Structure 1
């Protein structure tokens, strides 16, 4: 029967913490106690568990979780929440716990992520993208702390990142509409300085031009990824005619806001205007009508981030990046009567 550290402690008449210190050669333990504990370990053939060995191997088995950016992503964010849950489950099975960076000023002067990692002896960090990244993120990226970014490009010596292929996100939407004779399309993006949103906007305009579809300046509007900004952006598009045949938004939340604005205008969806979002959050299935969207594989992204970080920590891989293919999900908000079948 495999013994536990608690049973070894009982045999030696000491606490489990004392046994751990003897195993890991830490703390102030008397030579007599060290000798007694070691003797019992030798006599019983006790093999320390992975966690008991962690200090001896200079690993804490702790991962830092950072919601980066001066404009922070919240725990309730419907897209990143699912990614983080998948990451948590996968990294837990690999033997790690997660420490969330929550206070704004670690050293009361600046947000020093490197100092925080050293303070808590973290094995690595996963960084969730926000907007307007603080310099501390760049410092962490360029440090020797293993890092994996989600939807944020990292280029450091021990950094990797995983992201949806954002060019393909827009390509799938524009191709689908073009193949179904929809050529007048508006775009609602996130903040004008958002890297992810701009990747989607650039791909949108590229494929619109490629297929000979008109890009109207007043049909390109910006929000902040959330519902009210999509509502306001859609109102700006509807302020003058002609109206587009379809609207594509860089997030589902903005699409839901745009849907509200369209209904207030008395427009029918999809009869008068088609609507496509991005992310495939759960609310898409229950909107009226159900929202067409580009699905990002949130579960796959979270799992990849976990395994990539584990490999970086253990020196099993070189830094790199993985782009995950999206999938176009057609629901009632973009149903076309004579839909041309295509691979999504």
Structure 2
């Protein structure tokens, strides 16, 4: 097994210099780091992560808190794509990730405490926000840096990355209104989630500004799953005066909505237009392909990690506390102009 002393001898530096290169010490010049790292690679030397963390008091690992068990969460395309962005940002800084979660809030808190108290991570990324979330309250009590994907209720001191979900839903509604639609339904996620609250606000704002009455019978809240979209669309289409279009706040829910419409012999977009959120790959494969709002999920994950690492490494400024990622409507074939 190759040792630090052998690396140091080959590089013509002290063993302590090699240790500092391994921990990415800013006191070591880039030229020396490059030289030592090349020798480490040539000699197939891999630093012992546990020993390194004992010396530097840093694990070079970030904990990721999922909304459910990792097994369930990863079934939703949002989380793998956000993790892809997180992984890229962490890889650039030579950090690793640890995924954890739980079926209940209590299980998630226990998992989080084990990461922090066991000094297994340098920071935490929470992958979601709720209206009244004990996870976020616990994180604030802990002596650890963390960031959140999603807007917290109280964002005065929290590092977070999000879209402007009020604006994104508003823009989608204005697009439908400009296409001649006046009866517009909403199939939303759970109102326990701030993303759902914000998108409902954008929905209402567009209707009010255009003097269109809000019909709460056309507003459905459910889970961000296919079944939620299926049941929501069934209910909306069963109304005496169903809408001519519907805003659905997740592409997975839209799959269920399309299935429900097909079963009820309602054609998309001839009978009802659909615009959804997230622009997952599957939105291009539906019949017809979905007009969808691209929320740049990769960037949500990437910046959540970037801002957290700035905080951990003492480089973050107050203006680095939050990042709003732009959204864009991707036009496909699920919306048509409505003439009255």
TM range (shorter): 0.7 to 0.9
Structure 1 partner of 2:86: 87
Q: Secondary structure at the match of 1:56?
A: helix
SS at match of 2:292: strand
> Residues 70 and 64 of structure 1: is their aligned pair in 2 closer, same or farther, counting only changes over 3 Å?
closer
> Which residue of the partner structure matches residue 325 of structure 1?
326
- Tell me which residue corresponds to 1:267: 266
**Given that residues 102 and 108 in structure 2 are in contact (C-alpha distance below 8 angstroms), is that contact kept between their aligned partners in structure 1?**
no
CA contact 1:71–1:131 (8 Å) conserved in 2: no
C-alpha RMSD over aligned residues: 3.3
In the alignment of these two chains, the number of paired residues is 308
> Structure 1 residues 109, 82: closer, same or farther in 2, change over 3 A?
closer
CA distance in 2, matches of 1:293, 1:325: 14
Displacement of 1:153:
1.7
Q: How far off its partner does 1:151 sit?
A: 1.7
| Matched residue, 2:199 | 200
Map 1:120-159 onto structure 2 (within 5 A).
120-129=119-128, 135-153=134-152, 159=158
For the 8 Å contact 2:67–2:102, the answer to whether it is kept is: no
After superposition, the Cα gap between the structure-2 partners of 1:45 and 1:218, relative to the gap in structure 1 and judged at 3 Å, is closer
Instruction: Report the CA distance between 1:202 and its aligned residue.
Output: 1.5
The match for 2:2 is 6
Q: Secondary structure at the match of 1:161?
A: strand
Q: Which residue does the alignment assign to 1:50? A: 22
Post-superposition offset of 1:115: 5.0
Structure 2 partner of 1:249 = 248
Partner of 2:296: 297
In 2: Cα distance, 1:45 partner to 1:221 partner: 62
Cα offset, 1:213, TM superposition: 1.9
Give the 3 Å change call, closer, same or farther, for CA 265–58 of structure 1 in structure 2: same
Larger Rg: 1
SS of the residue corresponding to residue 80 of structure 1 reads: helix
Counterpart-to-counterpart distance in 1, 2:231 and 2:108: 38
What is the TM-score of this pair, normalised by structure 2? 0.80
Secondary structure of 2:334's counterpart equals helix
> For 1:112-153, what per-residue CA distance to the aligned partner results, in whole angstroms no more than 9, with x for missing partners?
624531313421111111657652431113433111101252
TM-score of the two chains, using structure 1 as the length reference: 0.79
Which sections of structure 1, spanning at least 5 residues, go unmatched? 13-36, 339-344
Paired residues of 1:73 and 1:130 also in contact (CA < 8 A): no
Equivalents in 1 of 2:121, 2:69: separation in Å?
A: 23
Q: Is the partner of 1:125 in helix, strand or coil?
A: strand
How many Å separate the matches in 1 of 2:288 and 2:95? 42
- Matches of 2:107 and 2:262 in 1, distance apart? 49
Residues 146-185 of structure 1 correspond to what in structure 2 (within 5 A)? 146-153=145-152, 159-185=158-184
Deviation of the 1:327 alpha carbon: 0.6
Higher share in helix:
2
